[in-house]
Structure formats: structure tokens, C-alpha cells
Structure 1
Amino acid sequence: MIASFHSTKEFAIMSKTVLITGASSGIGRASVGLFAAKGWNVIATMRQPDAALAADNVLVTRLDVQDTGSIHAAVDAGIARFGGIDALVNNAGYGQYGLFEALSREDIQTQFDVNVFGVMDVTRAVLPHFRARKSGVIVNVSSGPGIFTLPMISLYCASKFALEGFSEALSYELGSQGIGVKLVIPHGGVTSTNFNARSLESHVQEEKPGSYDGFVERTAAAFGALAAASTIRADDVAAVIHEAATDGTDRLRYLIGDDSRGFVKARRTLPDQDYIDFMRAKFPSV
């Protein structure tokens, strides 16, 4: 019997490879750990690379979704290191919080640059590689506020609604190329992120017309209750991302979370005005 020996690089090339954006913390960092543990090569990208994540099968490299040069450099570095890319996880994103009237046009532009145009630019950079291979899967991390809306985060909702529409339409186009598109939708609050905490902080910091004070106070209390009810861990979301990337189906949406507050059910089952009335009761104007 002849023994067979393979270098670490040869094993790396034999494994599948995923590129993950926003990998420095939260869902992105949890996804890096899970994919690596499952035997994948991981291109872990972030604005400020954290060398602590690096391993034989984990390449840590800079990628800022607002810097197209860094996007192409990260894709090229990943292909050079591991020989190809099989999956893309568009996880990088953030929430712009506050009353719409109190936010600047620059705030709006930045929200869409990160959550929408950044996803598009990273996807565009990877697509020629996927098309050449006639395979690949794109997992876009969305949010409950891409299905239902909440006050005080109108820009975040708008960006996630845009991501949902873009991903759904793109799935029809890329299906013709053997490329899958998936949406993972955490809802109900993720305990290991600071979504609601940052929301409440921005309520305090923003300069807003005084006539909103009563509404902002009531909404802040409602958001505090939502934060207290958060039950999903970043690891839970990472597991669903891995499922979406590997299940081999043409399923588009994967929801993960506790809908005890009923927002998703209301959006999907109630007549439109009944849904609006339901949500207005949760966040009363007066």
C-alpha cells in the first residue's frame, strides 16, 4: 500500500471556500468560526483586519464595502490563497437610527452605501468567478425590518427592503447561470449584537424637533421591551447561514428568530390595513 501525502495548501484547495464580509464581530465572526470548523476555507474580511482570526484555513484580509478597490483586492487574495470561491456571505451592514427628519442626506447615503450598494459591489466582484465555474451561492444577511417596518429606523428598513427586492430579483437572473441566491433573515433581536442599544443611544444623541418628544419617549420604551425579549444568538444565525450555503436547494428565504411579538405573522397573514393597524397599536402616535 502506497502512502499518500498532501500539503496543507493542497488540502485547502480541495476544500470549499467562503468569503464573509463584516467578519470582525457578531454574526460575521460566528460564521467564520462555524464554516472553518466545518472544514471550509474562509476568507474573513473586515474594515480593520483582526489577526486573531487567522488560521491555516482562514485568510483575514481587509474589505471595506465602501471601497471598491479593497473589494477586488480581497476577492483576488482569496482566490490566490485557496484556488477559488464557492460561496459569498454578504453580512456587513449597520443600522442608521433616528427620526427621518433629523437625519441628513449624508446619513441616508451612507446607510445605502453600506447595506445596499456595498452588497451589490461585492456581489459584482465575485460574479464573474462564479459564472466561469457555473456554480456558487450568495447568502445575503437581511433582517426582520426588511419584511416589517419599525419607527425610528426608517432608513435601515428602507435599506433592508431594498436588499430583499434586489436579492429576490437577482435570484431569477443568476439561476440561469447555476448560481444560487439566499436571504437569511434574523428577526426578534440578536443577543450578541448591540442593535437595540445603539438605537436607544441615537435617540438621545440626535437633534430633533421638540414636537416629537412624546412619540420618541414611547417608542424608546417599546424598543427597550424588544431588547429585553431578544433570544437569538449570533451562533444561531451562523448555523442558518451555513445551512443556506450548503443545503443545495433553490429556497430563497430563511427566517431565524422568535416571532412572539407577531410582526412577521401579521405582515404575512393580515390584510394590509389590518397589519398597519396592528403595528400602529404597538407604536402609538399619541
Structure 2
Amino acid sequence: MSLLVFGKTGQLARELARRAPEARFLGRDQADFTAPQACAAQVDGAEAVIIAAAYTAVDKAESEEALATTVNAETPGAIAAACAERGIPLVHVSTDYVFDGAGSAPWRTDDATGPLGAYGRTKLKGEQAVTAAGGAHVILRTSWVVSAHGANFVKTMLRLGAEREVLRVVADQVGGPTPTGDLAAACLAAVQGLQKGIPGGIHHFAGAPDVSWAGFAREIFAQAGLPCAVEEIATADYPTPARRPANSRLDCSGFEADFGVKRPDWRVSLAAILKELGAA
């Protein structure tokens, strides 16, 4: 299979490269997501496409929404249209930020969306553009992505936990940490399913069990052997330019039913991440 992946150095692209080294990976130098049609032209010759590139600077998006819209919505839409014209199945990764974070029930794929900020709005527009293209696709919403690569919560906690005796961490936001290796495997399973004729659409995929950021931090410190204590705080005590959803729980039952992939235990994958980082 000739698999094309948009993305090369990000967390997801790097994990996809481990699992599908034969795929063609396009970095920013070959696929600039500020140029939608140029990116769309790259799909020629591919038998499947995964979009693993995005504008993910949640806070910065508040002041760069136009740029984030091009990267997260217009370019994925153009790629999706090109894939639809050529009959190429497409997997596109989205986010829990398309929801408003109300309540405590896991979000279903058919629940009403309501982004709280610019990042979520641009990702929702991307979902809508991919869907409107009309080709075979899976939109895979995920949450709290972590790995041994790039900047993410695990690496931040390791750094701060080694420097401080106590760390204040938000406890009223709850979601499913998603190790990027597991997300990469889910994307590849989605590609294979689409090629077998499994109907696509919007799906959810995140790690289990659901936990607060504070609880996540405690597990990181415990597995890494760091004595740093966690002091629970409210979101209001840690203001950020962009609002975060309090409830990021995702109902992933549909993806398991259709594609046979269960929610991974993030605690197991965390151990592997820490080992790779030399922190376990």
C-alpha cells in the first residue's frame, strides 16, 4: 500500500513512521499547510492518506485564528476534496476541543459541538470540510496526546517534577491521556478498515481510564520515581488565554465496534514513554 502522511516531525508522524516506515512522510518543506491547493496536489499516486499535521498552539490560536483556520480547516478540506476525486481513503485527526466541556458524561460522536476557543473552532471547521468533501474518511477525535517526542504534558511534568518539591496542577479538567503510539496504531487501523469498505465518519479514540491532570501528574511522578507532591488547583487558579474544556471524556465505543481497536491503558504506554526518555 502506498500510504501518504502529511507530517514528519510531529508526535503523531514520528510514531506513524515507526509503524509504517514504508509510508511517504511530507514535512513542512514539502507540504506547507498555509497553501491548501499545493498540499492537495501531493495526494496523486497515494492509495491512502493520513493528515498528521495541524496548528496545535491552543493559546496562540486566540490571536492567530485566521492562520489556524487555513492550517486546520482549509488545507484539510482541500486534501479531502482531492482524495474524494481520486477515491483515496483519508484519516484526519481532530480533537476533544470541538466540545464545550460541559457535564461529566463521555462525549458521543453525535453530541452537539460547541468549541470554547479559536483552536476548537478551526478544528471543527476542518471536520466539516473533510465531511463535505464526500470521500471515504475517518475523522478521529482524540485528547491529551503525549509521547517521548516534542512538547507535551509528560515531558513538562518530568522537568518541573525534578525541580520542585510541590507542583500545583489543575484537578477539575478530566479526560483520557492518549499515548501517540496508540493513536498511530488507531490511525493505521482506520486506514485498513476504510480499504476493506468499513463505513467511516467521525470516531473517538483516547486512552483509559479517564483522569484529571492532577491525577495524571501523580502517576507520572510515581512511575518516574520523583518525590514531587501534587497540589490540586482549579482551572480558575491557572488562567490561560484560551479556555479549556472541563470534560474531555470521549465515548470510544463506536471505534472499537467498527475497527476493533480498544481504548489503550495509558498507564502501560506511559511506562514505555518514560523508558524511552530514560526517566524510568
TM-score by length of 1: 0.55
- 1:222 matched to which residue of 2? 170
SS of 2:249 mapped into structure 1: helix
2:28 corresponds, among 30, 44, 47, to 47
> Kindly tell me: are residues 168 and 124 of structure 1, through their superposed partners in 2, closer, same or farther at Cα, counting changes over 3 Å?
closer
SS of 1:256 mapped into structure 2: coil
Extract unaligned runs of 5+ from structure 1. 1-15, 49-61, 131-135, 175-179, 200-219, 267-286
2:71 corresponds, among 108, 111, 114, to 114
Structure 2 matches for 1:1-286, cutoff 5 A? Answer: 16-36=1-21, 41-48=22-29, 62-68=30-36, 70-71=38-39, 74-75=42-43, 79=44, 84-98=45-59, 103-104=62-63, 107-130=64-87, 136-149=88-101, 154-170=117-133, 173-174=134-135, 180-192=136-148, 193-195=150-152, 221-222=169-170, 231-247=177-193, 248=196, 249-252=198-201, 253-258=203-208, 260-261=210-211, 263-264=248-249
State the identity %. Answer: 15
Aligned length: 190
SS of 1:185 mapped into structure 2: strand
Larger radius of gyration: 1
Extract unaligned runs of 5+ from structure 2. 103-114, 157-167, 212-246, 252-280
- Taking the aligned partners of 2:94 and 2:155, their CA distance within structure 1 comes to 18
Cα deviation code 1:200-249 (max 9, x no counterpart): xxxxxxxxxxxxxxxxxxxx9538977xx874221110000001000231
> Kindly tell me: are residues 30 and 159 of structure 1, through their superposed partners in 2, closer, same or farther at Cα, counting changes over 3 Å?
same
- 1:4 matched to which residue of 2? none
- Taking the aligned partners of 1:110 and 1:256, their CA distance within structure 2 comes to 27
- 1:280 matched to which residue of 2? none
- Taking the aligned partners of 1:98 and 1:140, their CA distance within structure 2 comes to 22
C-alpha RMSD over aligned residues: 3.7
SS of 2:205 mapped into structure 1: strand
- Taking the aligned partners of 2:12 and 2:192, their CA distance within structure 1 comes to 17
> Kindly tell me: are residues 259 and 251 of structure 1, through their superposed partners in 2, closer, same or farther at Cα, counting changes over 3 Å?
farther
Q: Is the 8 Å Cα contact of residues 11 and 147 (structure 2) preserved in structure 1?
A: no
Q: CA deviation at 1:165?
A: 3.0
TM-score by length of 2: 0.56
Cα deviation code 1:173-211 (max 9, x no counterpart): 33xxxxx11012222442445355999xxxxxxxxxxxx
